[in-house]
Amino acid sequence: MGWSVPEVPIKASPPAWSPWPCVLIIIMGLFISLIIVVLNSPADGLLPLTNRYWLPLAISTIAWILIAITIYLLWWEIQAVSVWNWNTWRDEMHQAWRHHAHQHLAIVHHVLITTDSRALARLAGVIKEEDGEISVLTILPDGPVTPGISRFEQLSRFLIAQITPFLFQRYPAGKLRIIIQTSGIDKNKELQMFIRNWGAESYPWQVDICLQNNELPFNDWNQKLSPGHIPVLILALHYRQSDEILPEFVCGLFLMPPLLLRSTEQKNVLRLFRAMPMNNHALAAELQELQSMVQLPSDKKYLVWYSGMATAPSQSLSRVLGELPISLYENIGTNGIIDYTGAYGGYGALAGWPMIAAAADMAAYGPENQWLLLEDKQDAWAIALGHNTAVSEHKPMVSLPPFPAGSILMAIILNMGLYYATIHSFPSLAFSWWGLCVLLLSLAVTLPGIALMLRYIIATLQRQRFIKAAQ
């Protein structure tokens, strides 16, 4: 599918730092020094302590012991930093992936008007269609109906009149993004007419109007989620055309980013999450991945809608859902599954937004968590809708970076060597206040600098391996 969390294996922690190797290094250094002393001593006994032989030997012994301990600590630090980098990147990737999947807008108001006032009850299985029932093809049947662009103007005005009173009450001014999707062919003419009609009303909002093509709108919907700071007004309608028999409908959804919600709305508002691309030929794996994204809590009951799915996936949907660790509303639809194709399948990709509006209507009667599965000739999508706040079962790893013992000891040895060289080359500078300041400045730079440089090198060498593992 391409949107599930990449399974990067976690790296086991390296062996914990132990002081015993350092003790062993010290003992071995002293033992080797003792052997050197015995081999270089005269036959009549050891040299006296006042002899100049002992000071260079003591300095070289301490230096080699420090170098050996530094090599051991650097070996441990490189392993510890490598494991910490890997597991930290893995944890941050999981958090970023889930944050991406949990992006949502809140449906604070919606309107769905169809020619069948009992459509929702039919979809839920509360009532059944009766023979001889007369179907109406137009909204506002008492008014004049002129098919084509005039009908678009009439219905768009009607839909705006239905939704703007709430807009004035809830969002009286500011930036507003308007997304329009219709069944019409001449999109440019529709856009020009809508802009003219909207501008004639002198509304207080600064609008960005986008007219969607005749395809499932969710790829564009995901892009609109990214900024996340501008409310979105979605208008979808099917209006009468010449020589067509599909009933008309108008649909409006007003969605707001979570940051703009009132405190009283945060708990019970209906949330529409980021849509996920889906492959219906691998439906079991796809729904399992959708469930693993935990956009909605898995311990609640679910209602599942589908539209436009091929025969084989739609027939296997009930079995696939039964294998998932979720429970369904068995008294709604067909054991918790609603076939939206029968009611709106003829609209093709245009069925997406009215399906979401119908699910929002259904949520008012109880079902809080809903999955919507939509497919057309080009692609297929799954989208989650629910009252509950997005949850995450992922617990972030809490660990501090390893202590840079090896880097610190390396910096100390480096400064000791530089100061020793300064004593031999510039003794007057080494034993002056300027020399002391230079030494302190060198320590201030190299102590953190070597540790940071080592971590940068390790991260650079590791990054490509991690990216390959994530792919």
Structural domain for 225, as ranges: 105-386
Q: pLDDT of 277-296, one tens digit each? A: 888 788 888 888 888 887 88
Q: Both 257 and 313 in a single domain?
A: yes
For the segment 167-184, the average pLDDT, to the nearest whole number, is 90
Q: Both 157 and 234 in a single domain?
A: yes
Sign of the CA dihedral with 113 first, then 114, 117, and 122 last: negative
Contacts of 433 (CB under 8 A, 6+ apart): none
Q: Both 182 and 85 in a single domain?
A: no
Domain count, the chain: 2
Q: pLDDT of 326-378, one tens digit each? A: 888 888 888 888 988 876 767 888 888 999 999 999 988 888 889 999 888 77
Structural domain contains residue 5: no
Q: Both 298 and 165 in a single domain?
A: yes
Q: Both 238 and 179 in a single domain?
A: yes
Q: Both 206 and 248 in a single domain?
A: yes
Q: How far is C-alpha 208 from the geometric centre of its chain's CA atoms? A: 26
Of 121-130, 183-192, 333-342, 400-409, the least confident: 121-130
Q: pLDDT of 11-49, one tens digit each? A: 888 777 788 888 888 888 888 888 877 777 776 666 666
Q: Taking a C-beta distance cutoff of 8 angstroms, is the pair 213, 187 a contact?
A: yes
Sign of the CA dihedral with 324 first, then 359, 110, and 308 last: positive
